[in-house]
Amino acid sequence: MKILVINCGSSSIKYQLINTKEKTTLCKGLVERIGAVTSIIRHEFAKEKPVKKSIALENHSAALSKIMELLMEADNEHLHDVSEIEAVGHRVVHGGELFKDSVLIDEDVESAIEQAFDIAPLHNPPNLQGIRAAKKLLPNVPHVAVFDTAFHHSIPQHAYLYAIPNRLYRRYKIRRYGFHGTSHYYVSREYFNVLGKKKMGSKLITCHLGNGGSITAIKDGNSYDTSMGFTPLEGLVMGTRSGDIDPSILFFLIEKEELSLANVHALLNKHSGLLGLSGYAGDMRDLLEEAEQGDRRCTEAVDVFCYRAKKYIGSYMAALNGGDALIFTGGIGENSAIIRRKIVENLSYLGLELDDKKNEKAKGFSAIHAIESKVEIYVIPTNEELVIAIDAAKIAIASQQTPWA
Ligand code: ADP
């Protein structure tokens, strides 16, 4: 089946056309700066050079129309007619407590996504905007919502409750939800499938390290705990997000620097993390280059990043009472041997030993642990879009088999 996967941010849309039978990406692209004077589109058919265009796109609807136009451009063998798209899979960041699985989008689902605006003000509004625009453009195919939070629904209460008055959980559903669920799910399934391992009795720790980052403890194949919380701000040091901090710092700063709520929000989400620590960049490649040239603050930023990740691995080894495998994924996790080494070094007490040569050479699905390591260590490339496409295909088929759905 040909499935269009859409991931809408406030001013961007990432998209992929996926053939779920072959598990291949036929085309992918990114539209940025939607609503600005000029938006930028980067569009790429498989095995061809990417095309970059600048054009005014006033909203998500206009951007999606343009994407459809590009998908059907002459000479492309992948899509001849819109009717070949059999379903659309939408990434939705926050499913709240309601959505444990992907769902066919109807009016009730749209209003439930809207009800979660309060707890996901940055993500759910553009996600819903994208859904509504895509439904107008492709009204005759099933649209499916795949939630970043869904995989983490198995987290037990003692791991998802915060130690604040319980009535706040009951009234506002303030709890740990966790994100990057499709990525943690995908790499854990790759581990089970490729290596022929059993889910029951297994203990995995998956590290998704990209611009955003999270670590998940997975027990018997199910998410048991994860570093992101009520929002994607908690946990690891990220590109521009602080991750864990003492909440009292905020009271202190609000008083000292007379910050508004919006200022605090921007401080923690946009000006912190690697960017805030280094004062130079939130991008790990840039930081590693500067660190190699001897820049002290870039080196410190990398050190804080790796130390935080190491602490989470240690705490999840405690939560799981051990571990069979540690898995690295995401732009940093898949590509940076230095970061993997810095995170895993001095964890031999917990049974983790890297093989430096294997670590340096890792490309694609790779084992990088030393023979004597008690815990296996892998690099497994993630593919969140494929998870979304496969879920959308399954739900689309099921909805066609039940005519009343
Ligand atoms: P997103 O979370 O936006 O999907 P990615 O998973 O693509 O992001 O990860 C982006 C991050 O990966 C950036 O910080 C980038 O510098 C980093 N990265 C990509 N390749 C490398 C590399 N070879 N070495 C170090 N970091 C890398």
Q: What is the pLDDT of residue 405?
A: 45
- Residue 237, pLDDT > 80, answer yes
What is the whole-number distance in angstroms between the Cα of residue 381 and the centre of ligand 1? Answer: 12
Which one of 184, 329, 335 would you pick to mutate in the ligand 1 pocket, going by the greatest count of ligand atoms within 8 A of its CB? 335
Q: Are residues 206 and 124 in the same domain?
A: no
Domain of 36 in residue numbering reads as 2-147
Q: Using the 3D structure, point to which of 107, 122, 147 is the last residue of a domain.
A: 147
What percent of the chain has pLDDT above 70? 98
Spatial separation of the C-alpha atoms in residues 109 and 120, rounded to whole Å? 16
**How many structural domains is the chain composed of?**
2
Q: What is the pLDDT of residue 281?
A: 96
Q: Are residues 50 and 115 in the same domain?
A: yes
Encoded tokens for 388: 């979304």
Phi-psi group of 388: left, alpha or beta (phi > 0 → left; psi -120 to 50 → alpha; rest → beta) = alpha
Are the C-beta atoms of residues 204 and 218 closer than 8 Å to each other? yes
Give the pTM.
Answer: 0.95
225 in active site: no
The residues, any chain, with a CB within 8 Å of residue 106's CB and separated by 6 or more, are: none
- Residue 25, pLDDT > 50, answer yes
Tokens 């401080």 correspond to what residue?
Answer: 267
Encoded tokens for 155: 């987290």
Phi-psi group of 226: left, alpha or beta (phi > 0 → left; psi -120 to 50 → alpha; rest → beta) = beta
Q: What is the CATH number of the domain that holds 328?
A: 3.30.420.40
Spatial separation of the C-alpha atoms in residues 346 and 310, rounded to whole Å? 9
The residue annotated as part of the active site, out of 106, 148, 225, 283, is 148
Whether residue 335 has its Cβ less than 6 Å from ligand 1: yes
Question: DSSP label at 283?
Answer: -
- Centre a 10 Å sphere on the Cβ of residue 400 and count the other Cβ atoms it contains: 12
**Residue 88 belongs to a domain:** yes
The upper half-sphere exposure of residue 127, i.e. CA atoms within 13 Å in the direction of its Cβ, equals 28
Spatial separation of the C-alpha atoms in residues 320 and 314, rounded to whole Å? 10
Mean residue pLDDT of the chain comes to 94
Cα 206–chain centre separation: 12
Q: Are residues 304 and 231 in the same domain?
A: yes
Q: Are residues 143 and 207 in the same domain?
A: no
Spatial separation of the C-alpha atoms in residues 383 and 227, rounded to whole Å? 20
Q: Using the 3D structure, point to which of 107, 124, 147 is the last residue of a domain.
A: 147
**Residue 171 belongs to a domain:** no
- How much is the average pLDDT of 11-40? 93
Whether residue 331 has its Cβ less than 6 Å from ligand 1: yes
- Residue 73, pLDDT > 90, answer no
Q: Are strands 203-209 and 143-147 parallel, antiparallel or unpaired?
A: unpaired
Q: Are residues 379 and 298 in the same domain?
A: yes
Which one of 32, 42, 285, 387 would you pick to mutate in the ligand 1 pocket, going by the greatest count of ligand atoms within 8 A of its CB? 285
Spatial separation of the C-alpha atoms in residues 327 and 180, rounded to whole Å? 14
Q: What is the pLDDT of residue 340?
A: 98
Q: Are residues 127 and 225 in the same domain?
A: no
Per-residue pLDDT tens digits for 334-387: 999 999 999 999 999 999 999 999 999 999 999 999 999 999 999 999 999 999
- Centre a 10 Å sphere on the Cβ of residue 41 and count the other Cβ atoms it contains: 22
Cα 26 to Cα 77, 125, 181, 359, distances in angstroms? 9, 28, 24, 31
Q: Are residues 308 and 372 in the same domain?
A: yes
Nearest CA to ligand 1 atom 27: 332
Burial class of residue 372, CB neighbours in 10 A (0-12, 13-18, 19+):
exposed
- Residue 164, pLDDT > 50, answer yes
- How much is the average pLDDT of 111-122? 89
What percent of the chain has pLDDT above 90? 88
**Residue 248 belongs to a domain:** yes
When pLDDT is cut at 50, 70 and 90, the band that residue 119 belongs to is confident
Spatial separation of the C-alpha atoms in residues 91 and 391, rounded to whole Å? 11
Per-residue pLDDT tens digits for 172-227: 999 999 999 999 999 999 999 999 999 999 999 999 999 999 999 999 999 999 99
- How much is the average pLDDT of 155-167? 98
Question: DSSP label at 153?
Answer: G
- How much is the average pLDDT of 13-24? 95
